[in-house]
Amino acid sequence: MFSFWPKQRRRSHLLEQPFPDSWEPIVQQNVYHFHRLTDEQRDKVRRDLRVYVAEKNWEGCGGLEINDEIRVTIAAQMAILVLGFKEQYFDAVLSILVYPDAYMAKGQHLIEGGLVVEGPSAREGEAWYRGPVILSWADVLESGTGANRGHNLVFHEFAHQLDMLNGRVADGLPPLDSSDDMARWEALATATYNQLRQACSEGYRMVFDCYGATNMAEFFAVATETFFEKPREFQKHYPELYGLFTRYYRQDPLSWDS
Ligand SMILES: [Zn+2]
């Protein structure tokens, strides 16, 4: 517990400083979700994003020079994902590595040893257990501005991080409050995942992207994107699963001002 206090003190000190003027237009322009939030929710996003910007090791890769626009755009979306949580600073994520664009990699998709690689070739992002989160700036910006509606790379990668909070393996089962919810989640998520696999193999489209049919971890990450990006469709077709997502994320994107 001894080392807990300096971190808390540093955070309090940071949050006593005024929000940087130059950051506000970045959030306003690059993160469309921000406009749908209440004043109180926006204040929480501003607070959390400052902690992420200050505490994570941000690194530009592949020739990308990291700057405030990149840090703030990513951090704001991280904050919106966990808006309903009292405190979620992703302490296991020490570094965020940002490439200019989806980058080529020879790795295949695997979820072993806590590594989630988005594959198979043009990688948009990665999430490691207690390792860096790796993102493509082009895709982050598309996600934030809603250019590719229904998809959000930041929500996706950080959903993997939430999934890994209860164990090093991303299994599509994030930590839930009660064993009741856990059992319902497992049953419903598995049934919906199986439907998605079936639909995708037959060439049908569901509200969830077929990337979610890869495995249960991807299903959770993709369903998280759908939850925030297409809540109406999610709720309409899968009301019970949607209800569990609102309980887990402690927020209902349908109630956001639009
Ligand atoms: Zn993924």
C-alpha 52 – ligand 1 centre gap (Å) = 21
Residue 162 Cα to ligand 1 midpoint, Å, equals: 12
Domain-terminating residue out of 138, 166, 194: 166
- Measured in angstroms, how far is the CA atom of residue 102 from the centroid of ligand 1? 14
Strand partners, 111: 116
Instruction: Quote the percentage of the chain above a pLDDT of 70.
Output: 86
For residue 160, the CA-to-ligand 1 centroid distance in Å is 7
Q: Which amino acid is at 129?
A: Y
pLDDT for residue 125: 63
Q: If you average pLDDT over residues 165-177, what whole number do you get?
A: 83
Ordered alpha helix ranges (H), the chain: 4-16, 24-30, 39-55, 68-81, 137-145, 153-163, 179-201, 216-229, 231-237, 239-249
For residue 190, the CA-to-ligand 1 centroid distance in Å is: 17
Q: From ligand 1's centre to the CA of 139, what distance in Å? A: 14
Among 163, 142, 146, 175, residue whose Cα is nearest residue 212: 163
pLDDT in tens, 140-167: 999 999 888 889 999 999 999 999 888 7
Q: Say yes or no: 183 and 161 in one domain.
A: no
Residue 112, pLDDT score: 42
Looking at residue 104, what is its pLDDT?
42
Instruction: State residue 118's pLDDT score.
Output: 65
- State the total domains in the chain: 2
The stretch 69-89 carries a mean pLDDT of 97
The residue from 166, 188, 222 where one domain ends is: 166
Q: Output the six-digit token pair for 220.
A: 């959770």
Would you say residue 188 has pLDDT above 90? yes
**CATH code: domain of residue 20:** 1.10.472.150
pLDDT at 226: 97
Q: Which amino acid is at 82?
A: V
Residues 158 and 189 in one domain: no
DSSP state of 203: T
Q: Is 61 left (phi over 0), alpha (psi -120 to 50) or beta?
A: beta
Range with lowest mean pLDDT among 21-35, 51-65, 142-156, 211-225: 142-156
The pLDDT of residue 119 is above 70: no
What pLDDT does residue 67 have?
Answer: 98
Q: Which domain holds residue 201?
A: 179-255
For the stretch 30-40, pLDDT in tens is 999 999 999 99
Residues with CB under 5 A from ligand 1 (ion): 118, 218, 221
- Which of 136, 166, 196 marks a domain boundary? 166
